[in-house]
Amino acid sequence: MDTRKSVAASGLLVLATAIIFSSTGFSPTTVGILSSALIIACLAVSVQMIYAMLGELSLGQSAIFGTAAFAYAVVTVNLHDPGLGILIGLLLALIMGAVIGGAVCNVTHAYFSVITYAISFLCGVIVRGSRELGGSEGLLGLDPLPTILTGFYNADILIYAGIAFLLSVTLLYFTWRSPIGLSLEAIRADRWLARSFGINTRLMVVVAYVLSAIPAGLAGVVFAGTGRYVGPTAFELYYVVIPIAVMALGGTRSLLGTLTGCLLLVAVPLWLSIGALESQILAGLALAIAVIVLPKGINDALLRGVRLVVRRTGRWKVGLPRRSEPAESSPIETTEPAFAAGPTAPLRASGVVVRFGGNTAVDSVDLQIAPGEIVGLIGPNGAGKTTLVNAITGLVPLAAGDVEVDGRLLTKVPAHGRARAGLARTFQTVALVEVLSVHQNFLIAQARGRVLRTGLRLPRLTAAAQEAVTLCGLGHLLDTKVSELTNLERRVLAVGLTLAANPKYILLDEPTAGLSPQDRVEFVRVVRRVVEHRGVGVLVIEHDVEFVTEIANRIVAMHQGKVIADGVPAVVLNDSAVVSSYLGGDWSRARA
Amino acid sequence: MTAPSCRAIWEVIGPVLELDEIVVRYGSNTAVDGVSLTVDPNRTVAVLGPNGAGKTSLGRACMGLVRHGGRVRVDGEDISRRRPDQRHRRGLAYVPSSARVFPTLTVRENIEFQNGVPKSYWPTITARFPILGEKEHQPAGQLSGGQQQLLSIMRALAVGPRYLILDEPSAGLAPVVVKEIFDILADLPGGPVGVLLLEQNASLGLGIADDCVVIVRGQTRLSGRAADLIGSPELQHLYLGMPGGDPAKEPTQTSP
Amino acid sequence: MFFTQLVNGLIVGSGYGLVAVGLNYTLGLARVFNFAYGAFYAWAAYAGIAIGGALAWGGHVNYVAVCLLTLIVMAVIAALFAVGVVFPAITRSDMTVMVATLGVSIAMPNLAQMLFGSDATSLPSSLTQHNIHLDSVRINAQGLVSIVAALVFTTALVLFNNGTRIGTRLRAAAENRELAAASGVNVSLSHVVAVVVGIIVATIACVSFSPLTVVTTTMGNQVLIVAFAAIAMAGIGRLWGALIVGFGIGVFEAMFVAYVNPTYSSVAIYAALILLLLVRPKGLFGGH
């Protein structure tokens, strides 16, 4: 389902509104109401960008909005140049976005929301205390935006607001479809997963925030230039919560919903001259009720009602569009060779020590994987196997030791950098971006986190990713949502995704947990195919000793953070220390 | 052979835990597709099957932790619309396959936070399992996997349930520890309890069960007395997890 | 001068600290963020003033009576809120709770302004007029009440949390929802109780401390930020830690006003709080 219907529907709504309101003859009041609604709509788009893509509730939009508004105000009051005011306003909005993004790049959930909230609050406090910025009264008599469009001041105001909104929505649309949007979706799913794909999670949060600052900045500039007044109220909770209420009411991914929400929560109360106090109470209650009763927004509920009445069988999605071309029709991108040659030097972890508090989880471990070798890592629960892999891949800090991959020292390189250097891994609990399709997951994996280069262009599968798809036999499932795959398909997909990034070494953490014996046989076949084809080195953590014997050239046994044996399976599995630590007396008798 | 589907409701006499045409769906994925079975008090029913068969979903449905179609009845009373804590009060107890204890609560708190634990319970179990007594005031998260499993089972039995649901008691534990746990399961302390044992490892399950049901992809494929099913070729075909067993290979009984 | 400021700081800090303890209890137990927490604090103040006005016979108000009645009224409102908003929201998701309580947090202060007007007033208490003298230091009686209340009620809450079966059941429900439910704990009820208890603690903090300040509609927002920053530093669920950090913030503020610069104190405080939120030195008291 494409967005043409939704754009058309939105256009119709705007037109209808314009016609209805123009019956009162475009009076300043009407124009003021409509432009207020559109300004809030821009803020709602700004909040949506963070929420729809990062999954976090940002309360900092008013800080950006207020900053842009005040920048415009200061410039026009002192220099009387509205054009420059717009520019500086937007610039400062972007900077503020970067600052807030940088502040919250590491945090999630409640912390994210409270910190952004506190920053908005702090801005209000600063402005109130500053005479140059108008103190508690604010700045008056700002120069209006240049009346260059229609020559009619009132019409111009509306057009400016409309342009701001259209630009905001276009930006949201293109960002969401782009590799940037996809990698933000991966961050939203699981930050460690995103880093293992090579995504620089902190940088991407800042990028998302800077992008969301554009609609908020536009809103601020238009607000200042049309209202011709700014005050500390620009930083108030109102400009934070109303956009969120609009978003909640309209549905987080619905353009039409945003417009409907703004009409209901902003335009109608203003038109009916409902006081500021009452309309805020209304908005607050509407927000609380909306999220509880109508989690997908009022539009979705209305549409379902309409569908029931009209009895259409088609799917009426007025949300954001599908994010990539259908898998079958995508041509191959030829910016990289089909697949890079395998590694020439081993993966070497030397003297790795990992500590959590007072507990030494990994105690001076040396581990080596040669190109084309499959190494099994066994040991009882708590032996430190997963922690070792986490330390090698950089998700957990090294207390001591070094990590070297294909001759390159990676000890000081952060996790996403190690992924880009050719170190790929899967997770014990299969980590994939559930809400996206197999194809889209491959698009994320193949990018290796380098999404800023492609910008907002639509992505296509590279040759390497295409080959990964084939190697894993997932070609027929490309458009299936990951959440609908079977257990084996998910496990195989996890391996396939590591391949799409042209890795040199792949670390698999308990890849067959929960698979039936037949599935395990299939899995072994896939892994062997991968190793033969690409010449990568593979490490497999496993509990099932039998499976590991099948697949590995060499076995390393760990116990209580140390390596206790390292050699060919037959030798290691009969090593008495290994047997007693993990396998129990019965096992060696059964295998003899 | 107990064929639960043959038993009409009015033929049921006396206390029993009944699962009647249980259906569990996650979105478009049907995890349990109309499974029925009964558990008599003081008997153990093992539900076997490969992973992804729906055993865990069945257990969760029985306890009310997931929405399900079909009916769950305890001693004739339909509890299908009841919350998990209400089902607990009706006599069901549950030991999950992971996250089995409350890590920051002490060992003793892990048992006594429940309402209705007799004062004599703690001394009784610490007499039989001194390790629990030694760690009485330690946070349960510091216990080993096997000790946590033991603690969880003791927690479930503390209020004298009528039926105990055990989800994959062997999961996440080393083979040596699994054997110890199953020895305990064969000889549970406290009064008579009907046990619903959900287990992937068939040899372990059959070892302590009276009756057995095998489900694959959410549907019942085999059922009968455990003794009858040990060594059955059909069961072997569904992969038992016997040491050295792999259905893809020819069984080699003798070495060349 | 120093000791006077120290005492002032401790008095202000007691207000911050107890408020943080209440929110930390809710956060630690229910693992849901009640954005309306600050709004409830402000409402407690307004309710106290209204009740004080209603009880005034010939100009004399019984402070204890006002406190008790306010507590009862706020407990009822909190219960309605917990059952009507928090409970249905929890069944959806954590984000839903945050957003729903955010909505309430903007509706409540405006409602207060509508009902009570925006004239700045104070909770009536005769204790604000009395001072106790220790050596050369003058301690305000009301301030002493605030400090004592903070210490007493934090102790009570900690005892309830760790020493009673109900407290343990609530902790279990917070730690592992499913296992708790399967062991007979009504998890939804637990969350409701955690929210209500938190608000009751906020009310106690309010009636103890706010007679010393002027009540405004924005005090709720300020309270929320301070509380969260204190929790960020102390660690979620660490009740004593939150109280101590609250005292610390109060002392910092008093010292800043006295020795550095009174006009920029607000800016400095909030900047410092944001820094706390960013840096989150949890290692100080442990925490999750």
Most confident of A204-213, A494-503, A555-564, C48-57: A204-213
Predicted model pTM: 0.79
Residue C133: phi, psi to the nearest 5? -110, 125
Residue A13: phi, psi to the nearest 5? -60, -45
- Greater confidence (A405 vs A6) lies with A405
Query: With an 8 Å Cβ cutoff, is C288 touching chain A?
Result: no
Best residue in C178, C179, C186 to probe B by mutation, most B CBs within 10 Å? C179
Q: What is the mean pLDDT of chain A?
A: 81
Q: What percent of chain C has pLDDT over 70?
A: 91
Residues in C touching B113 (Cβ below 8 Å): 165, 168-169, 172, 183, 185
Quote the Cα angle for A480-A482-A486, to 5°. Answer: 95
- Chain C residue with CA closest to A105: the answer is C278
Distance CA A218, CA A231 (A): 17
Residues in A touching C274 (Cβ below 8 Å): 103, 115, 118-119, 122
- Is the Cβ–Cβ distance between B21 and B35 less than 8 Å? yes
Best residue in B86, B90, B102 to probe C by mutation, most C CBs within 10 Å? B102
Query: With an 8 Å Cβ cutoff, is B67 touching chain C?
Result: no
Whether B113 and C181 lie within 8 Å, measured CB to CB: no
Distance CA B198, CA C276 (A): 48
Whether B144 and A515 lie within 8 Å, measured CB to CB: no
- Greater confidence (B170 vs B20) lies with B20
Angle between helices A61-79 and A82-104 (to 10 degrees): 150
Quote the Cα angle for A205-A209-A211, to 5°. Answer: 115
pLDDT of residue C211: 85
Give the pLDDT mean for A159-185: 86
Whether B83 and C184 lie within 8 Å, measured CB to CB: no
Summarised one tens digit per residue, pLDDT across range B26-38 is 766 778 999 999 9
User: CB-CB: which of C165, C175, C183 is closest to B88?
Assistant: C183
Tokens 């959590």 sit at which residue? Answer: A356
Does residue C234 sit within a domain?
Answer: no
Distance CA A513, CA A491 (A): 9
pLDDT of residue C78: 95
pLDDT of residue A417: 92
State the smallest CA–CA distance between residue A442 and chain B in angstroms.
23
Does residue C94 sit within a domain?
Answer: yes
Query: With an 8 Å Cβ cutoff, is C181 touching chain B?
Result: yes
- Residue C238 parent element (H or E): none
- Greater confidence (C71 vs C138) lies with C71
Best residue in B56, B176, B204 to probe A by mutation, most A CBs within 10 Å? B176
Neighbours of A351 (CB within 10 A): 12
pLDDT of residue A432: 87
Give the pLDDT mean for A251-266: 78
Residue A140 has pLDDT above 80, yes or no: no
Neighbours of A456 (CB within 10 A): 16
Beta bridge partners of A377: A541, A556
Residues in C touching B65 (Cβ below 8 Å): 178, 181-182
Q: What percent of chain B has pLDDT over 90?
A: 46
pLDDT of residue B246: 37
User: CB-CB: which of A118, A122, A288 is closest to C103?
Assistant: A288
- Greater confidence (C126 vs C284) lies with C126
Tokens 């800016």 sit at which residue? Answer: C267
What CA dihedral angle connects B79, B80, B82 and B88, to 10 degrees? Answer: 60
Most confident of A84-88, A556-560, C201-205: C201-205
- SS3 assignment, position B39: strand
Distance CA A259, CA B7 (A): 60
Most confident of A326-335, A387-396, C256-265: A387-396
Does residue C240 sit within a domain?
Answer: no
Does residue C238 sit within a domain?
Answer: no
Summarised one tens digit per residue, pLDDT across range A41-63 is 999 999 988 988 888 889 989 99
Tokens 């420059």 sit at which residue? Answer: A84
- Residue A380's identity, in one-letter code, is P
Distance CA C101, CA C39 (A): 10
Residue A88 has pLDDT above 70, yes or no: yes
pLDDT of residue B8: 46
Burial bucket for residue A411 (CB in 10 Å: 0-12, 13-18, 19+): middle
Using pLDDT thresholds of 50, 70 and 90, give the confidence band for residue B152: very high
Does residue C143 sit within a domain?
Answer: yes
Residues in A touching B247 (Cβ below 8 Å): 517-518
Residues in C touching A109 (Cβ below 8 Å): 33, 94-95, 98
- Cα-based distances in Å from A369 to A373, A374, A573: 6, 8, 19
- Greater confidence (C108 vs B9) lies with C108
State the smallest CA–CA distance between residue A486 and chain B in angstroms.
9
Using pLDDT thresholds of 50, 70 and 90, give the confidence band for residue A514: low
Nearest to A339, CA basis, from A523, A178, A466, A155: A466
C117: left (phi over 0), alpha (psi -120 to 50) or beta: left
Q: What is the mean pLDDT of chain C?
A: 85
- Is the Cβ–Cβ distance between A507 and A377 less than 8 Å? no
- Is the Cβ–Cβ distance between C288 and C236 less than 8 Å? yes
Whether C180 and B102 lie within 8 Å, measured CB to CB: yes
Query: With an 8 Å Cβ cutoff, is C99 touching chain A?
Result: yes
Neighbours of A228 (CB within 10 A): 16
Whether A516 and B28 lie within 8 Å, measured CB to CB: no
Q: How many domains does chain C have?
A: 1
State the smallest CA–CA distance between residue A192 and chain B in angstroms.
21
Distance CA A215, CA A174 (A): 13
Pairing, β B44-48 against β A562-567: unpaired
- Greater confidence (A245 vs B113) lies with B113
- Is the Cβ–Cβ distance between A202 and A414 less than 8 Å? no
Instruction: Give me the domain span that covers residue C146.
Output: 19-219
Query: With an 8 Å Cβ cutoff, is C184 touching chain B?
Result: yes
User: CB-CB: which of A109, A113, A285 is closest to C103?
Assistant: A285
Query: With an 8 Å Cβ cutoff, is A487 touching chain B?
Result: yes
- Greater confidence (A369 vs C2) lies with A369
Query: With an 8 Å Cβ cutoff, is A484 touching chain B?
Result: yes
Give the pLDDT mean for B100-126: 93
